[in-house]
Amino acid sequence: MADIADTTLVHRAPMRDEAATRAAPVPLASVGADAWRGLAERTVEPNGYYLPDWEMAVDASARGRTNASAICAFSDTRLTGLLPVVPMWRAYGIPLPALVSADPYGSLCTPLLDREQAEAAALELMRQARAAGAHALLLRAVALDGPAMKAFREELRRDGLRVRLLQSHLRAALDATRDADEVLQEALGAKKLKELRRQRNRLADHGAVQFDVARTPDEVAPAVETFLALEASGWKARRGTALAQDQGDAAFIRRATVAMAARGQCEIISLRAGDTPVAAGVVLRHGDRAFFFKLGVDERFAKYSPGVQLTLELTRHLCADPLIRFADSTAAPDHPMINPIWRSRLAIGDVLVPLQRHDVVVPLIRAALALRQAIREPARRAVHFLRRRRESRQEKST
């Protein structure tokens, strides 16, 4: 495992010698919504999945993701930093003293830091974690090159410490400041775009093709039901991972999307052929960024590539929006659908943040995580292989 950066050691009073000003962590539900929203408006780096209406809905009912805590940073009475966390035992089944960024159902856990004092906020979050008895912070799925991680690296450097990179990957993103037609032409080429137009024309045989964007709570409430039904109609349902298959997950997404729509932070996009919805997706908005959460398609129309057709429309929609400059697919690395369309890349990784110098516990944490990964990876690959083979047999029998 490599270091994110080698730095010159600059000595000062270590974090463990500086008393935390507030108890940590606190129940996530106890964080004031107004203060949280104020911080989200001032954050140095947007993260739609740590907006209060989203994360509080996750915390209330989402499967395996409830009852998180938060470490918070303050400047006087103003909230300047926030990171939802769970103990390492809960996140990884490892009984060692570390706090781990809570899973917000979207694959981005970048902390919220006040842009006017990002480094001070990062330092205070680390102090709070240390005050709670943690020897390390594990930040999962963070933007490695963004200003939030820069703030953590700088404060660690001043304490003679450095973050450790546990794993990293690149995922698809969109530069929404560009012209959409140019983006799609460069990404897909004339031949592929011609084929997709042909498929769209064939789809129109089932009714006029229409792209819709639900924005208001009254529009989003029925649109999210369409999304849930589409997502539960295909392979996600066969795997048991569709949101509608779990009562808590369904309650979370209904609550979050409607609440965020009331603040202009959520859209449900859909593609219809006549009166029939063939694809739908959830898009979050935070600052000048958009986050593509999930996609559901009607597999009866698979030969017309409904998911790709919807993503083409989303690309045009975001590039035409002057408020959005960047879109994060929040997709898995090497995603076969969106990677060829959104050709920008965002470096995402898991990092280990030590909280004091010469701590013998931190190497134990790293070793335990490495052992866990070594044990789980072959099993994960075997399960994936068997699942794909079973699904292939099912498709051939229908």
Structural domain includes residue 302:
yes
Residue 368, helix vs strand vs coil? helix
Residues 168, 181 share a domain: no
| DSSP codes joined into one string, 201-217 | HHHGGGS-EEEEEE-SH
Structural domain includes residue 3:
no
| Placement of tokens 């498709």 in the chain | 395
Residues 157, 186 share a domain: no
Residues 163, 64 share a domain: yes
Residues 296, 368 share a domain: no
Q: Read off the tokens for 119.
A: 């480094």
As a whole number, mean pLDDT of residues 192-201 equals 98
Which residues are within 8 A (CB) of 243 and not within 5 positions of it... i.e. 6 or more apart?
A: 228, 231, 232, 249, 250, 252, 253, 294
Residues 249, 112 share a domain: no
Structural domain includes residue 155:
yes
Cα three-residue angle 111-114-115, rounded to 5 degrees: 110
Residues 113, 20 share a domain: yes
Structural domain includes residue 98:
yes
CATH of the domain at 250: 3.40.630
Q: Which domain holds residue 130?
A: 15-172+346-395
Residue 13, helix vs strand vs coil? coil
Q: Judge contact between 99 and 106, C-beta under 8 A.
A: no
Which residues are within 8 A (CB) of 129 and not within 5 positions of it... i.e. 6 or more apart?
A: 24, 25, 71, 85, 99, 137, 355
Q: How far apart are CA 79 and CA 229, in angstroms?
A: 39
165-182 pLDDT, tens digit each? 999 999 999 999 999 999
Whether 384 shows a pLDDT value over 60: the answer reads no
Residues 19, 155 share a domain: yes
Whether 222 shows a pLDDT value over 60: the answer reads yes
Residues 253, 288 share a domain: yes
pLDDT category at 397 given cuts 50, 70, 90 is very low
Structural domain includes residue 52:
yes
> Per the structure, how many domains does the chain have?
2
Residues 146, 48 share a domain: yes
Structural domain includes residue 389:
yes
16-64 pLDDT, tens digit each? 444 444 557 999 999 999 999 999 999 999 999 999 999 999 999 999 9
Q: What percent of the chain has pLDDT over 70?
A: 89
Q: Which of 386, 63, 381 is nearest to 242 (CA)?
A: 63
Residues 28, 157 share a domain: yes
End-to-end distance of the chain based on CA atoms, in angstroms?
46
As a whole number, mean pLDDT of residues 190-200 equals 98
Residues 240, 114 share a domain: no
Give the CA distances from residue 227 to residues 13, 150, 176, 194, in Å, rounded to whole numbers and listed in that order: 52, 37, 24, 28
Phi-psi region of 133 (alpha: psi -120 to 50; beta: other; left: phi over 0): left
pTM score of the predicted model = 0.90
Taking residue 359's Cβ as centre, other Cβ atoms within 10 Å add up to 15
Q: Looking at residue 239, what is its pLDDT? A: 86
Structural domain includes residue 1:
no
Residues 197, 81 share a domain: no
3-state SS track over 255-306: HHHHHHHCCCCEEEEEEEECCEEEEEEEEEEECCEEEEEEEEECHHHHHHCH
Which residues are within 8 A (CB) of 24 and not within 5 positions of it... i.e. 6 or more apart?
A: 71, 72, 128, 129, 131, 132
Helices (H), the chain: 33-42, 52-61, 88-92, 118-131, 147-158, 180-203, 217-231, 235-239, 247-261, 306-319, 361-397
Structural domain includes residue 299:
yes
